[in-house]
Amino acid sequence: MPGKLASGEHRLEMCRLAFNDERFEVSSIELDRGSRSYTVETLRELKKIYPDDEFYFIIGSDMLETLTGWYLWEEIISLCHICAASREDGFVPDLSCFTDEQKKRIILLDIPPYEVSSTEIRGIIAKGEKNTELISPAVADYIRRNGLYDDGLSDYRRLLTEMLDEYRLNHSECVSECAAVLAEKYGADAEKARLAGLLHDVTKNVPRAEQLGIIEKSGEPLSGVELCNPKVWHQISGAAFLKENGIISDEEILGAVRWHTTGRADMTLLEKIVYVADFISADREYRDVNVVRRLAEISLEHAILYTSRYTVEKLVSADLPIHPATVDCYNDMLLHFKIQKG
């Protein structure tokens, strides 16, 4: 989810910072108008201020095809030359709707396309990534100082940056994104899913001894099977850590973290979503990942039946103990489908 849009004043200031060069001047006339601003009005105003100058209006070549839908578009072409910059390789805009006179005022710029969109940049910033290659450092700094494009999760991301390695951070973002998509599809709260996905592996990189300490403090003793399978500890220590430190009090989110590795019988919708998202997030690459992705398109239960069976089989063939919750989860899904088959 890209963060919210910035106000006109912030956008003007960012333009000033980005074009901090004497060859450029950033104009505020569209903002000063104070109401809905049409391109034709801006051009009329500029023409009044600079009556002897020629104007060149640079747009993306994809916008050229929608130009005839713009307010008073014919007047726009009479007031300026339209320069269309390529947005993707080999894209040739259709100019058949323009007269020969109008075509003379359209210039197709032959420049290498720069395949990045503002939506993409806002998304990167909302995730708190320090990738400033796409924008100038001054603008990046301004965005940070003013908290622009914040999607409301930056405090959690700061915590995760301290607790997780690079690989796990990326995985958490991918699970967060995937959980939100699944929530939209299956009618759960997308914001809760996004947060639960983001935090599901919060203690994954915490040393095992410390995880045991967190679990012990929470008063939930580890079973024998859990003791000999440290891979499941982080779901228990993660939920306990989030609760004990007052980071999350929402029981649904805590449940989704608590059961994301083993699953269990009677999972809530949010628990199913985070469990499945953890298997099919964009960063996942195991052999059957596309099978599970397709199953998740059909239903969460199809995906969970497949993945819990896969987990059971893997553990059996490796002579490892199976967590009872995983067995419960598998049985629960089998019963779900048996009952459906009736």
Instruction: Give the residues lining the site for Fe ion (CB under 5 A).
Output: 201, 278
Residue 193 identity (one-letter amino acid) = A
| Cβ pair 270, 157 in contact under 8 A | no
| Nearer of residues 121 and 240 to Fe ion, judged by Cβ | 240
* Shortest Å, Cβ 203 to Fe ion: 9
| Nearer of residues 128 and 197 to Fe ion, judged by Cβ | 197
Query: Looking up tokens 């989030």, which residue turns up?
Result: 242
| Cβ pair 83, 56 in contact under 8 A | yes
Give the CA angle between residues 6, 132, 110 to the nearest 5°.
Answer: 90
* Shortest Å, Cβ 263 to Fe ion: 12
| Nearer of residues 205 and 218 to Fe ion, judged by Cβ | 205
Indicate the DSSP class of residue 20: -
| Nearer of residues 189 and 278 to Fe ion, judged by Cβ | 278
| Nearer of residues 154 and 170 to Fe ion, judged by Cβ | 170
* Shortest Å, Cβ 201 to Fe ion: 4
| Nearer of residues 177 and 201 to Fe ion, judged by Cβ | 201
Three-class SS state of 305: helix
The Cα 239–Cα 142 span in angstroms is 35
Three-class SS state of 59: strand
| Nearer of residues 173 and 278 to Fe ion, judged by Cβ | 278
| Cβ pair 281, 174 in contact under 8 A | yes
Q: Where are the beta strands (DSSP E) in the chain?
A: 56-60, 81-85, 106-109
* Shortest Å, Cβ 171 to Fe ion: 6
Give the CA angle between residues 175, 239, 312 to the nearest 5°.
Answer: 65
User: How many CB atoms lie under 10 A from the CB of residue 111?
Assistant: 9
* Shortest Å, Cβ 67 to Fe ion: 47
The closest of 237, 243, 189, 184 to 212, measured between CA atoms, is 237
* Shortest Å, Cβ 260 to Fe ion: 6
* Shortest Å, Cβ 256 to Fe ion: 11
- The sheet that has 106-109: what strands, in order across it? 56-60, 81-85, 106-109
* Shortest Å, Cβ 79 to Fe ion: 56
| Nearer of residues 201 and 271 to Fe ion, judged by Cβ | 201
The closest of 200, 203, 206, 156 to 178, measured between CA atoms, is 200
